[in-house]
Amino acid sequence: MVVELVQSTKVPFDPKMPGAGSFPFRAGVTLIIAAPDLDRRGGLREAEVRYAIRKTMQNERADRQRDYHLAMGMADGDVDDPNHFQANFGLLHQGF
């Protein structure tokens, strides 16, 4: 099983210019969990976390996300629209 736990907060594009808008800064952890097996009596054993891949909320990570959004032109448009920062996979795959 794959479980994603996500934290999100709004971070300004430029802290000195709050009117420039903000972007969603995301971090969290992805857990890879082994499905529980049956024990000898037919009951379920506890599930086991096999891997935990974390992305922390550090300033360097926020800077990289800010640079990415700026490079992709995401500072333009309605940055308060929750769909503004969503990827359009239809464009990536050209309708396939």
pLDDT at 67 over 80: yes
Flag whether 96 is in a domain: no
The beta-strand segments (E) located in 1-96 are 2-12, 22-34, 48-55
What pLDDT, on a 0 to 100 scale, did the predictor assign at position 96?
56
Number of helices followed by number of strands (H, E) in the chain: 2, 3
Query: Per the structure, how many domains does the chain have?
Result: 1
What pLDDT, on a 0 to 100 scale, did the predictor assign at position 91?
67
Instruction: Write down the pTM of the prediction.
Output: 0.65
47: its two tokens: 């599930």
Flag whether 21 is in a domain: yes
42: its two tokens: 């037919």
What pLDDT, on a 0 to 100 scale, did the predictor assign at position 88?
67
66-73 contact pairs (CB < 8 A, 24+): 66/11, 66/13, 66/23, 69/13, 69/23, 70/13
Q: What is the mean pLDDT of residues 29-57?
A: 88
Q: Which one has a higher pLDDT value, 52 or 83? A: 52
Flag whether 67 is in a domain: yes
Rounded Cα distance between 9 and 18, Å, is 15
Flag whether 94 is in a domain: no
Q: What is the mean pLDDT of residues 34-53?
A: 86
Flag whether 57 is in a domain: yes
